[in-house]
Amino acid sequence: MAGNGKSVRLGEGEYRWLEKGLRGMGFFAKLSLKELAGVLPYIHLEDHPKGRVLCKEGGKGDSFFLIYKGGVEVSKKNWDKPVAKLKEGQFFGEMSLLFGHPRNATVKTLKPTQLFELKANDFSRILKKNPGVAKTVRKVADERRRALAQI
Ligand code: CMP
């Protein structure tokens, strides 16, 4: 599933967004500028068309994704409604990497979407080095797990 988008080179705009936008919310909020600089070499920015399946329920989790532009829908087999819609600044793909399970849901782009992607190894390394980030990601993953158990 991973790495099948069109690769986009990181420019000044993307760096600025990573530094300012992301540090102000969610995933990178707890990273210092130095730590962020350490993360950047491992991040790939990829362009995906509308309708691209990025995570397939039951499949192996190999990447973590952060939405730079666009939006995705999270769905589950045999559920009549989508589980969630995620937009710019939100992340997905963390559950299988954290819990060591197959993908819990299918995630598909709702429109042309640019995603920052981290391979599983780099994701684990970043979480190990940054306990604050690990805590934030685990909290979201736990909330999502509870939501999946309830619906
Ligand atoms: P993962 O299981 O690796 O792959 C599917 C992803 O869908 C999952 O990680 C989460 O990132 C995302 N996901 C699952 N359940 C929810 C939910 N209730 N709300 C938002 N995102 C979810």
pLDDT digits (tens, 9 = 90+) for 7-30: 888 788 887 777 665 555 556 656
Confidence (pLDDT) at 31: 66
**Cβ contact 89:29 at 8 Å:** no
Confidence (pLDDT) at 5: 81
Cα 42 to Cα 117: distance, rounded to the nearest angstrom: 8
Question: What value does the CA radius of gyration of the chain take, rounded to a whole number of Å?
Answer: 15
Distance 82 CA to ligand 1 centre (A): 11
Ligand 1 pocket test target in 66, 74, 108 with most atoms within 8 Å of CB? 74
**Residue 5 Cα distances to 17, 53, 103, 120, angstroms:** 20, 11, 19, 17
Name the average pLDDT for the chain.
86
Residue nearest to atom 17 of ligand 1 (CA): 144
Poorest-pLDDT segment among 5-14, 22-31, 39-48, 114-123: 22-31
**Cβ contact 68:5 at 8 Å:** no
Write the pLDDT tens digit of every residue in 65-94: 989 899 999 999 989 899 999 998 889 999
